[in-house]
Chains A and B, each alone.
Chain A
Amino acid sequence: MSGAAVVALVYLQAAVCLLLGCQRMLRFPLSERAVAGLLSWLFSLCFGLALWAGLGLAKTGPVTIPVGRWHLSGGFDFLLSLHLDWLSLPFLLLGTALCGVVAAFSERYLHREPGYHRFFFTLCLFGLGYTLTILGGSIEVLYASWEFLGLSSAMLIGFFHDRPAPVRNGLYAFAVYRICDLGLVLASVLVFQQFHSGELEVWLGRGQWPNIETPLTPAMAGLIGGLLLLSAAGKSGQWPFCGWLPRAMEGPTPSTAIFYGALSVHAGAYLLLRCSPLLDASPAFAAAATLIGLGTALTARLVGRVQNDIKCRLAYSSLAQVGLIFAEIGLGFRWLPVLHVLGHAALRSVQFLKAPSLLHEIHELHSALGEYHLAPTSSQPSWSYRFGLERGYLDTLIGALVLRPALGLGKALRSADRQVLKWLVGPPPS
Chain B
Amino acid sequence: MSLHLLVLLLPWLAFWRPTRRLTLGVLGCDLLLAFGLLEQGTPTADELSLTLLPYTCMIYLVLVLATPLKQRQAGSTRALLAGLGLDLWFFSIQSPLWLALAWPLTHLPLWLQLPRCSWTRRLALTFWLPGCLSFAVGCWGYLGSGAPPLWAMLALLGAVALRKAIFPVHQWLPALFERASLPHLIAFCCPQVGAYATVRLLTAQAPEPLLVALGTLALFTSLYGAILALGNRSLRGVYASLFMGQTSLVYAGLQCTTPAGLAGGLAVWVAGGLALTGLGMAIWVLEARRGRQWLDTYQGGYDRSPVLAGTFLLLGLTSVGFPGTLGFVSQELLLDGTLEHYPQVGVLAAFTACLNGITVMATYFRLFCGSRQEYGYSQSIRRRERLAVYMLLAVLLGMGLAPQNFLASRARIANQLLRARALLITPQAE
Contacts and interface: CB of A to CB of B under 8 A. Distances in A.
B332 interface: yes
Interface in B353-402: 354, 357-358, 361-362, 365, 368-372, 386, 390
A189 interface: yes
A73 B119 contact: no
A11 B192 CA distance: 38
A428 B119 contact: yes
A73 B411 contact: yes
A73 B404 CA distance: 8
Contact of B335 (A69, A161, A189): A189
B337 A186 contact: no
A331 interface: no
Interface string B126-144: 1000000000000000000
A348 B117 CA distance: 63
Given A75-B260, A181-B354, A426-B119, A189 B346 contact: yes
Interface string A139-167: 01001110110010010001001111001
Interface string B330-360: 0011011101100000110011001001100
A207 interface: no
A147 B360 CA distance: 15
B149 interface: no
Contact of B122 (A24, A78, A189, A426): A426
A406 interface: yes
Interface string B215-231: 00000000010011111
Given A167-B365, A186-B350, A425-B119, A73 B263 contact: yes
Contacts of B324: 144, 148
A161 B302 contact: yes
Contact of B339 (A181, A189, A429): A189
A72 B340 CA distance: 18
A377 B195 CA distance: 68
Contacts of B310: 24-25
Interface string B300-341: 101100110010000001000011100011001101110110
A136 to B, nearest CB: 11
Contacts, number: 164
A116 to B, nearest CB: 12
A102 B260 CA distance: 45
Interface stretch (A171-179, A364-372, A378-386, A389-397): A171-179
B59 interface: no
A170 interface: yes
Contacts of B365: 158, 161, 167-168, 170-171
A421 B175 CA distance: 9
With a 10 A CB-CB cut-off, give which of A78, A425, A429 has the most chain B CB atoms. Answer: A425
Interface in B44-96: none
A413 interface: yes
A130 to B, nearest CB: 14
Contact of B351 (A25, A71, A72, A182): A182
Contact of B328 (A144, A411, A428): A144
A114 B170 CA distance: 44
A164 B298 CA distance: 7
With a 10 A CB-CB cut-off, give which of B122, B228, B232, B408 has the most chain A CB atoms. Answer: B228
Interface string A12-50: 000000000000110000000000000000000000000
B358 A174 contact: yes
B403 interface: yes
A74 B333 contact: yes
A143 B323 CA distance: 8
A407 interface: yes
Contacts of A162: 300, 302, 369-372
Contact of A164 (B231, B303, B371, B407): B371
A7 interface: no
A74 B171 contact: no
Given A178-B357, A421-B123, A158 B228 contact: no
B357 to A, nearest CB: 5
A147 B264 CA distance: 21
B232 A410 contact: yes
Contact of B369 (A24, A74, A167, A421): A167
With a 10 A CB-CB cut-off, give which of B337, B339, B350, B369 has the most chain A CB atoms. Answer: B369
Contacts of B11: none
B171 A421 contact: yes
A132 to B, nearest CB: 10
Given A24-B306, A174-B361, A406-B230, A71 B354 contact: no
A76 interface: yes
Contact of B336 (A161, A192, A417): A192
Contacts of B232: 410, 414
A413 B228 contact: yes
Contacts of A161: 302, 365, 368-370
A424 interface: yes
Q: Give chain A's interface secondary structure class.
A: helix
Contacts of A407: 230-231
B410 interface: yes
Contacts of B362: 171
A199 to B, nearest CB: 15
A21 to B, nearest CB: 8
B411 A148 contact: no
A135 B228 CA distance: 39
B298 A410 contact: no
A25 B332 CA distance: 29
Contact of A147 (B230, B307, B322): B322
A99 B317 CA distance: 26
B354 A76 contact: no
A220 to B, nearest CB: 14
Contacts of B258: 74
B229 A410 contact: yes
Interface string A178-203: 11011001101110110000000000
Contact of B346 (A179, A186, A420, A429): A186
Contact of A24 (B224, B307, B390, B410): B307
Contacts of B302: 161-162
A73 B335 contact: no
A147 B354 contact: no
A36 B232 CA distance: 40
B228 A74 contact: no
Nearest to A25: B307
Nearest to A424: B126
30 contacts: A24-B307, A70-B404, A71-B404, A73-B263, A73-B404, A75-B259, A76-B333, A78-B332, A114-B303, A154-B361, A158-B369, A161-B365, A161-B370, A162-B371, A163-B370, A167-B298, A168-B365, A168-B370, A178-B361, A182-B350, A185-B335, A189-B335, A192-B339, A406-B227, A406-B230, A407-B231, A410-B232, A414-B174, A421-B172, A425-B122
Interface of B: 117, 119, 122-123, 126, 170-172, 174-175, 224, 227-232, 237, 258-261, 263-264, 298, 300, 302-303, 306-307, 310, 317, 322-324, 328-329, 332-333, 335-337, 339-340, 346-347, 350-351, 354, 357-358, 361-362, 365, 368-372, 386, 390, 403-404, 407-408, 410-411, 414
Given A74-B336, A143-B323, 12 more contacts: A69-B404, A70-B404, A73-B404, A73-B407, A73-B410, A74-B411, A162-B369, A171-B365, A407-B230, A410-B227, A410-B229, A429-B119
